[in-house]
Chain A
Amino acid sequence: MQSSFSPGALLRRPEAGAFLGLLAVLIFFGIFGGLTFLQPAGMASWMNVASNLGVIAIPVGLLMIAGELDISVGAMVPFGAMTVAVVSGHYDLPIWFGIAVALTFGVLIGLINGYMVIRTAVPSLIVTLGTLFAVQGIVLGLTVLITKSTSVALVTEGVAKTIFGDFLFNGQVQVMVLWWLAITAAYIFFVHFSRFGNWIFAMGGDKVSARNAGIPTERMTILLFVLSSTSAAFVGLCQAILYNSAQVAGGQSFIFNAIISVVVGGVLLTGGFGSIVGIFFGTITFAIVNQGIYYTDFDRNWSSLIIGILLLVAVLMNNTFRKMALSYAPRKTGGK
């Protein structure tokens, strides 16, 4: 068995497009903005954006690889933030209790999403669109009912602050960056090295065959929905602890930003193809475009244009690379 590291072999990998996209934006912003965004202060700004997004984008990407979609993460971020703020801020209960309650709600909404998707034939886009609005309604309704306000303060001290919502390295880098790197490493192992990753790809490739091959597709689907909504709740509660307050709104941007990161990262929208490293690169690429614009002379408003073009180019490139991967056959030496 050969293990070739030729350029061709690299291009056939799911993360090829993401890697080239990252190079392209690095060059683009290197030319127009100088290299300030690669210096510590600049790096911190896009790493912070990437870390919050990345923790959500990876489980969303896994669902897409498995042929599902979860847009309710957009409501789970404020839900997680508001839960911890109401429990530990408004009611002044211990912060660990607030964190546990927020994460429990994350698991619960994930179970509801997953259960509805496997029990009904309704596409997960519609199911999670429903929970997106329902959870937004719960957050707004309950918060106003309980606190008579749409913004709740939360003061955290001690270990919980250090672990979940503090700044590192001269107060620039959010502790979330460390979570993001650790979680990404865990996902890489889970998806690419354990046997469970194979199941996720098989489910996205052909759900019926996967089930017939003995894969517990329903349990895996529920698990993935629980991962995505709990991750979103986790990001929300960390933001509340970091900024010492929670708002009922916000979080919707995570829906599209996560999907863009995942697709730029080389995940096939219809499932069955993608990689964690790809999503990781896709998230960084998105964050650099999102933040790098501040380091150029361009108006901030142009960043959406760049992201839109980036997305389209990435999808086209990924299609090409996938075709290359499909048509690839090792050249045989000698006759037939």
Chain B
Amino acid sequence: MSQAILSLKNINKSFGPIDVLHDINLDVRAGEVLCLLGDNGAGKSTVIRLLSGVHKPTSGVMAMDGKPVVFANPREAADHGIATVHQFGGTFPLMSVGRSFFVGREPTKWVGPFKIYDRKLANDTAVKAVQSFGITRIDDGDRLVGGLSGGERQALAIARAVHFGARVLILDEPTAALGVKQAAHVLRIVNEARRRGLGVIFITHQVMHAMAVGDHFAVLIRGAIAADFRKGEKTREQITDLMAGGEQMVELEAGIENHMAAGDGHPDPAIHAH
């Protein structure tokens, strides 16, 4: 197995007296999708904030290519090639595709004594980058980002990260707000990012989406890693149970099934017809 691009070793994080993460160990490898699963409040967001330089771990070591790193701010994490894409793409609804693609890194050209924003270069580059991820519907860099679908916005954000040399892509619930078709789009883009050799951290609480693209899974419960396994080692039901914190989910489902079978739920349509 190749060396991890990014690894967390015995990471703890507390905010004042509240311990949020305990003893987290994770490895992100090139060309692999690591799915980080967990219920709301399990600590997924805190892990993302550590990785993307928003917070610093209270103890433990973060390493890139085996060398310890400390990110003072999000910009430093980005400079190390860690890109975070948030649920809504983190893009700017009223900016054009080209302008939002190059935000903070605008290409410029000299026109006489003036250094001006190179709109044509920005638009062409952005459109080409998004289309290389299979989103051919975006063909005009002057279109406003707000006019794109949720999946297209994710594609734009991911294409942007890849274009600017990201090695680790953190996707925070990219499919949560999307319909089935749009989500499938995004999953295909995740596969494409993996094919290009990026390490992808895919955060979700939708087990089906995780199983569709994941190579490696980690389940967070109350700030600790409750399970760490590879593709094919667990079934969907087992993962769902883990996320819900143990056996409750199976029992609950069984309970509901018994309830329905006993006819205490909705009346049986056959009986109702009489």
Contacts and interface: CB of A to CB of B under 8 A. Distances in A.
B99 A198 contact: yes
B95 A272 contact: yes
B75 A214 contact: yes
Interface string B93-131: 111000110111110100000111100100110000000
A328 B97 CA distance: 12
A326 B241 CA distance: 42
Listed residue (B75, B104, B141, B144) with the most chain A CB atoms within 10 angstroms of its CB: B104
A205 B94 contact: yes
Contacts, number: 97
Given A194-B116, A195-B106, A215-B104, A206 B147 contact: no
Contacts of A212: 52, 74-75, 78, 84, 90
Contact of A328 (B74, B75, B90, B143): B143
Listed residue (A193, A198, A205, A327) with the most chain B CB atoms within 10 angstroms of its CB: A198
Contacts of B108: 194-195
Contact of B94 (A2, A193, A322, A327): A322
Contact of A272 (B78, B94, B115): B94
Interface residues of A, number: 31
B90 A206 contact: yes
A205 B90 CA distance: 10
Contact of B91 (A2, A209, A273, A328): A209
Nearest to A192: B117
Nearest to A209: B90
Interface string A188-213: 01000111011101100110011111
A234 B210 CA distance: 59
Nearest to B86: A209
Interface string A162-203: 000000000000000000000000000100011101110110
B117 A201 contact: no
A213 B103 contact: yes
Given A194-B115, A328-B147, A329-B143, A272 B92 contact: yes
Interface of B: 52, 74-75, 78, 84, 86, 90-95, 99-100, 102-106, 108, 114-117, 120, 123-124, 137, 139-141, 143-144, 146-147
User: Ordered nearest first, which 9 A-B pairs have the shortest CB separation?
Assistant: A205-B92, A213-B104, A195-B106, A214-B104, A273-B94, A209-B90, A193-B116, A272-B94, A326-B146
Given A202-B104, A205-B95, A272-B95, 6 more contacts: A198-B95, A211-B74, A273-B94, A325-B94, A326-B94, A328-B144
14 contacts: A1-B123, A193-B116, A197-B117, A198-B95, A199-B104, A202-B103, A205-B100, A210-B92, A212-B84, A214-B105, A215-B103, A328-B144, A329-B140, A330-B143
